[in-house]
Amino acid sequence: MSMTIARGAFLTGGTSLLAACAVQRAQLSSLVHHCGSPQALPDVASRPVQYGSFASSVLKQRVGYAIALPPNSGPLRGVAYAFPGRGATAAMLFPALGHDKYLASLAQEPDFLRFAVAAVDSGESYWHHRAGGEDRMAMFVKEFAPFVHRLLDLPTGAHESLLGYSMGGYGALLAAIRQPHRYSAVAVAGPAIWSSFEEQHASVPDAFDNRADFTRNSIFASVNALRSQAIRIDCGRTDPFAGSVKLLQKELPAAIVSVRDGCHDDTLFRSSVADQLRHISRHLAQGRTP
């Protein structure tokens, strides 16, 4: 197995045995469709990523985080929360996709605004309340977002945005649905979404508890909440979720959707980061606050 595929598996597949088939399909796609290696990161000096963890009362465990800051000092206009793929930690995200490097590179563009990117561990539970009691979305809303605001000493009115990859892309879209007036912009790559319970159950059967759980938390069931938001979606043509992304594109005619050559891996995800960060920067001035 190549390093590219192995690294991609960290962000797209996770560790669940029930998700193993989906991971294997993504890896096979990488081999068959010659997805290649991730592009080189910008050759610029960037600020050291801040790594740490906090005690989550919601999850009853410590949760890791990583924060990338733009170069130099100065006030931040806001923060973009980043959700990694299934089973991935926050510490995996920036080394794989390079948000810290892209923040430093894009800072040289005259209209690029200053904001931080704050990633949090993804877990396995698909960012919604599960029958077993885990609720990553509650952790994010009630604990991580306020924690980041305190840690970065963000001013009142600082704008918030969302980034997500694979399962984290689903989570970012779900967060935007749950609080549709909160976020300045949403940018996801390879979002792990399905248009039907049957499709989901055949692909990753443990992503939802049952049909009712899928319906309650389906992106398509609540797509109206996304229509007025600034959405960007990137996806590879051979991504197993490309069909669902194209269906979502029809539901969101105002969204920026790029379906291009690529797979469900770090090569496609990394190639999306610069455009994702530009998308967030453009919408900061028009952003929404909680």
Query: Is pLDDT of 3 > 70?
Result: no
CA-closest candidate to residue 134, choices 211, 208, 218, 66: 208
Work out the average pLDDT over 194-198. Answer: 96
pLDDT at residue 28 in the model: 46
What's the rounded Cα separation, in Å, for the pair 146 and 95?
25
pLDDT at residue 287 in the model: 53
> DSSP letters of 127-153?
TS--TTS--HHHHIIIIIHHHHHHHHT
Inter-residue contact 167 to 136 (CB < 8 Å): no
Work out the average pLDDT over 265-280. Answer: 97
Inter-residue contact 269 to 190 (CB < 8 Å): yes
Inter-residue contact 268 to 188 (CB < 8 Å): no
Work out the average pLDDT over 213-230. Answer: 96
- Pick the residue with more confidence: 139 or 25? 139
Amino acid of residue 288: R
List Cα–Cα distances, 232 to 8, 88, 190, 199, 255, in angstroms: 21, 22, 11, 24, 6
Q: At a CB cut-off of 8 Å and minimum separation 6, what does 212 contact?
A: none
What's the rounded Cα separation, in Å, for the pair 95 and 41?
10
Backbone angles phi, psi at 64, to 5 degrees: -85, 155
Question: Where does 3-284 sit in CATH, by number?
Answer: 3.40.50.1820
Query: Is pLDDT of 1 > 90?
Result: no
pLDDT at residue 20 in the model: 39
Q: pLDDT tier at 289 (50, 70, 90 boundaries)? A: very low
Work out the average pLDDT over 57-77. Answer: 94
Cα-Cα-Cα-Cα dihedral sign, residues 159, 163, 167, 170: positive
Q: What is the pLDDT of residues 134-187, one digit of tens each?
A: 999 999 999 999 999 999 999 888 999 999 999 999 999 999 999 999 999 999
Query: Is pLDDT of 290 > 80?
Result: no
Q: How far apart are the first and last CA of the chain?
A: 45
pLDDT at residue 105 in the model: 97
Query: Is pLDDT of 11 > 90?
Result: no
Q: What single-letter DSSP state applies at residue 38?
A: P
Q: What is the pLDDT of residues 69-94, one digit of tens each?
A: 999 888 999 999 999 999 999 999 99
Inter-residue contact 245 to 233 (CB < 8 Å): yes
Which tokens belong to 237? 């043509």
- Pick the residue with more confidence: 128 or 19? 128
Averaged pLDDT score across all residues of the chain: 88
Q: pLDDT tier at 110 (50, 70, 90 boundaries)? A: very high
What's the rounded Cα separation, in Å, for the pair 166 and 276?
15
Inter-residue contact 175 to 93 (CB < 8 Å): no
Work out the average pLDDT over 118-134. Answer: 94
- Pick the residue with more confidence: 27 or 116? 116
Which tokens belong to 271? 């190639």
Share of the chain above pLDDT 70, in %: 86
Work out the average pLDDT over 3-32. Answer: 40
Helix (H) or strand (E) holding 169: helix 167-178
pLDDT at residue 36 in the model: 78
Work out the average pLDDT over 30-45. Answer: 77
Inter-residue contact 197 to 211 (CB < 8 Å): yes
Query: Is pLDDT of 10 > 50?
Result: no
Inter-residue contact 96 to 270 (CB < 8 Å): yes
What is the value of pTM for the model shown? 0.89
pLDDT at residue 38 in the model: 85
The domains of the chain are located at 3-284
CA-closest candidate to residue 218, choices 173, 270, 183, 265: 173
Q: Is 234 helix (H, G, I), strand (E, B) or coil?
A: strand
Q: Is 233 helix (H, G, I), strand (E, B) or coil?
A: strand
